[in-house]
Amino acid sequence: MIDVVAQYRLEIQIEDDIVIVRRKARQLAQARKLDPFATAAITTAVSELTRNVLVHAGGGSVVLEEISDGERYGVRATFEDHGPGIANLELALAGGHSTSKTMGLGLSGSKRLADRFEVKTEKGVGTTVRIEKWQGL
């Protein structure tokens, strides 16, 4: 069972929101005593996924949560947009495939950096990406 200790919902509409979301994620990771590597990992992943919402879906939102399993704390980020959906999820997750002219490493990199990673996407409906990062044991 995972408890949600605190929850913050942030809109992702303009470039400046990337900085705001990134800063909030780092703040929560530090508050919940994730180690510096885990803090950097969640901060980087959140930053990439926020950018994806903005660039590929034209905006959306993220819910940042402090979570606990009773022994450890973690940070969870759930991104939601109503953009076009990810056309080829398998390719997008493999890495190095971008429909814009960027690196195509945001999604695959975020998956690698997270302890848990989930994506749901539907063409013409939108995309939800959820990641978790936990304190070390």
Ligand X SMILES: Nc1ncnc2c1ncn2[C@@H]1O[C@H](COP(=O)(O)OP(=O)(O)O)[C@@H](O)[C@H]1O
Q: Which residues bind Mg ion (CB under 5 A)?
A: 52, 106
Angstrom CA distances, 82 to 3, 20, 21, 60, 121, stand at: 27, 21, 19, 7, 10
- Residue 17 is a binding residue for ligand X (CB under 6 A): no
Q: Which is nearer to ligand X, 46 or 92 (CB)?
A: 92
- Residue 113 is a binding residue for ligand X (CB under 6 A): no
Q: Give min distance, CB of 16 to Mg ion, in A.
A: 18
- Residue 102 is a binding residue for ligand X (CB under 6 A): yes
Among 54, 79, 77, residue whose Cα is nearest residue 66: 77
Q: Give the dihedral of Cα atoms 56, 59, 51, 5; nearest 10 deg.
A: -130
Return the residue of 65, 80, 81, 132 that touches ligand X, per CB under 6 A: 81
Work out what residue 98 binds among ligand X, Mg ion, none; the CB cut-off runs from 5 to 8 Å by kind: ligand X
Structural tokens at position 67: 């979570």
Q: Give min distance, CB of 48 to Mg ion, in A.
A: 5
Q: Which is nearer to ligand X, 32 or 130 (CB)?
A: 130
Q: Which is nearer to Mg ion, 96 or 116 (CB)?
A: 96
4 and 64 Cβ atoms separated by less than 8 Å:
no
Size of the site for ligand X (CB under 6 A): 22
DSSP H stretches of helix in 14-88:
15-31, 36-57
Identify the burial level of 104 via C-beta atoms within 10 angstroms of its C-beta, where 0-12 means exposed, 13-18 middle and 19 or more buried: middle
Q: Which is nearer to Mg ion, 52 or 127 (CB)?
A: 52
